[in-house]
Structure 1
Amino acid sequence: MTEAHTYLYGAAGGALSPRTARAYREGVGKFLQHAEHAGVSVIRPDRDDGPLYARTLETQGLTPSSVRVNLAAARALYRALRWAGVTALDPFSDTKAAKDRTAAWDKRQPYSHAEVQALLTAAGPRDRVLLLLCAHGGLRISEALALTWADCEGDLLIVQHGKGGKLRRVAVSGSLRAALAAWREETVDGAVIGSTQTAARERLRRLCVRASVTYKGWHALRHYAGTRAAAQLGLETAAQHLGHASIETTRVYAKWADTSLKDALKGW
């Protein structure tokens, strides 16, 4: 029901991503489990049930972003319940998650240039392509796994279903172009990489062990691409390369790229 309502009335409409749908399913399940254990009436909730759920999530050690995702799922559930005429109440209308006290640039640091090079050295042809799609192309892992050979047009990649279902064109680096050409000889038409995100994460974990690199996840490679683009080309170009709707989202990469303070302190 929640997914149906979100599909019909949500901002993404028919472009609702599988990742968002999965997050909502898991979040709704988490709230219903909480309601059962805490004695919360789902169709006749008290006004404090929403804020109490938020505080419960925060005391479970979840990150602020995970708390927000779970609250978004619970809000989506109550929008669906009101739509279905099950209840007119919404305990989450005034519920707010606690502010994240960690600055965005202090979280999820990108891989360093040396770490990326170590990973590329340890990678086989398939993993090398996937690494470069994220580290040079700036693709999200979901976008990289969904890429097909039909989406590769010389110096450009066509991301058919980016965040929010948006299509974008991504410039290809020289090393990524060479890696794609080498890998193309070993594959057939269809997906460039394919596979699942779970399998891709496991492959990266093993690759990090071989390369003696601390595992930071696939998204840290996209952060590396953004940091490098911001440092060499400026914020606007970096935002365009990553497909950010707002340049404010890209400013975190400028923070990572700015070494002026550290460089100045070396001479103190």
Structure 2
Amino acid sequence: MTGETSTTIVPYIGDTLSRSRLWTDLSEAELRRLAVAACRDQDEETLWALTEAYFTTYGASGAKASRHTLRAYRQGLRVFLNHVGTRAVNLLHPARDLGPSFLREREAAGKSPGTVQLELAAVRLLYRALRWSGATTDDPFSDARPARETTAPWDKRQPYSEQELHALLLAARPDTRAMLLLGAHAGLRVSELLALVWGDLDFNARAVRVRSGKGGKARRAVMSETLAQALKALCAGLSDEQLFPISDVAVRKRLKALCLITGVPYRAVHALRHYSGTKLYRVSHDLEAVARHLGHSTLETTRIYAKWSDESLKNSVGQW
């Protein structure tokens, strides 16, 4: 958008805490002025900086919010600004039906319920930040509700099978093999394995320390013998040296390339974690053990692995 410069501060430098302080140190009048100007110009960078500052300051994860979460929210904000950019929308005083119409358009475009939910969360966060700044009191998404999810959780993203994981491991180079096993055996998320440093590996106790999991929670995941061998095969660095100095995008590209080579259907990196939970439940039938291993807050989240590992229904019907 054209118009005068909306901010007198550099909105996106340093780490998340440093960036948020640029905003929290402002006077109420200056904070409001910058937010109003950013809305007028539909300035994505400044609106995101404001939103991130609010999220970092008031969100449950605080400054420990993962890069993946921040990236997802920023993408949701970008989608919303693209939506309003094609219309004459006053962000501070939008029309009554802006929220529902945005959701209906995204659903009509074929976006999954999960994607629409995430975009809705991002825009709600934006408006919480705008109200925090004093720029508006409006909340156009308060009554916006996405369409119901009709696919059962256990049908949305299946884990890799035993045979598929075996094929991927055989074709992987050493560092990629270690990453695959950190997901499939230790149950780590992409953000968790990329945050690992050598000092997080305890070969004597056979444990992997996750310092900042989802929601900022720490845990210790069990290190399998196969994973231990794969990690030892890498050249060990200093205790504070990152194991895998690459991005999550690079991890996804590697897995997609492996799937293409091996003929394994690509089910996303997170399906490796699903494999871990499914296999652990299959051998233990202990939901609490699976929850501890994966760092789940509630057993309800863990029950999906019981569904995936339950062969009794298939075996029973298969005998008809």
What TM-score comes out, normalization by structure 2 length? 0.80
Q: Which residue of 2 aligns with 1:99?
A: 148
1:238 aligns with 2:290: yes
The partner residue of 1:256 within 304, 308, 315 is 308
CA contact (8 A) 1:75 1:92 kept: yes
Which has the greater radius of gyration? Answer: 2
CA contact (8 A) 2:187 2:273 kept: yes
1:132 aligns with 2:181: yes
User: Counterparts of 1:217 and 1:25 in 2: how far apart (Å)?
Assistant: 21
1:77 aligns with 2:129: no
CA contact (8 A) 2:66 2:191 kept: no
Paired residues for 1:179-198 under 5 Å: 179-183=230-234, 186-189=235-238, 190-198=241-249
Q: Which residue of 2 aligns with 1:55?
A: 104
CA contact (8 A) 1:147 1:194 kept: no
Q: Which residue of 2 aligns with 1:157?
A: 208
**Residue ranges of structure 2 left out of the alignment (5+ in a row):** 1-49
**Counterpart code for 1:248:** E
1:22 to partner: Cα distance: 1.7
**Residue ranges of structure 1 left out of the alignment (5+ in a row):** none
User: Counterparts of 1:238 and 1:54 in 2: how far apart (Å)?
Assistant: 35
Per-residue Cα deviation, 1:143-188 (whole angstroms, up to 9, x for no partner): 11221110001211101111111111111111111111122xx343
Paired residues for 1:11-22 under 5 Å: 11-22=60-71
Q: Runs of at least 4 residues of structure 1 off by over 4 A? A: none
Secondary structure in structure 2 of the residue aligned to 1:38: coil
CA contact (8 A) 1:244 1:250 kept: yes
Secondary structure in structure 1 of the residue aligned to 2:261: helix
CA contact (8 A) 2:67 2:191 kept: no
User: Counterparts of 1:206 and 1:257 in 2: how far apart (Å)?
Assistant: 27
User: Counterparts of 1:38 and 1:98 in 2: how far apart (Å)?
Assistant: 23
Q: Which residue of 2 aligns with 1:223?
A: 274
User: Counterparts of 1:144 and 1:43 in 2: how far apart (Å)?
Assistant: 40
CA contact (8 A) 1:159 1:169 kept: yes
Q: Which residue of 2 aligns with 1:89?
A: 138
- The 1:209–1:32 alpha-carbon spacing in structure 2 relative to 1, beyond 3 Å, is closer
User: Counterparts of 2:144 and 2:178 in 1: how far apart (Å)?
Assistant: 44
Higher relative contact order (CA 8 A, sep 6+): 1
User: Counterparts of 2:76 and 2:69 in 1: how far apart (Å)?
Assistant: 10
**Counterpart code for 2:272:** L
Per-residue Cα deviation, 1:75-105 (whole angstroms, up to 9, x for no partner): 1111111111111111111111111000000
1:255 to partner: Cα distance: 0.4
1:110 aligns with 2:159: yes
1:28 to partner: Cα distance: 1.6
CA contact (8 A) 1:157 1:171 kept: yes
User: Counterparts of 1:23 and 1:120 in 2: how far apart (Å)?
Assistant: 29
Q: Which residue of 1 aligns with 2:260?
A: 209
User: Counterparts of 1:153 and 1:162 in 2: how far apart (Å)?
Assistant: 18
1:217 to partner: Cα distance: 1.5
Alignment RMSD: 1.2
What TM-score comes out, normalization by structure 1 length? 0.96
User: Counterparts of 2:272 and 2:107 in 1: how far apart (Å)?
Assistant: 28
User: Counterparts of 2:202 and 2:301 in 1: how far apart (Å)?
Assistant: 28
**Counterpart code for 2:162:** H
Q: Which residue of 2 aligns with 1:266?
A: 318
Secondary structure in structure 2 of the residue aligned to 1:134: helix
User: Counterparts of 1:187 and 1:174 in 2: how far apart (Å)?
Assistant: 17
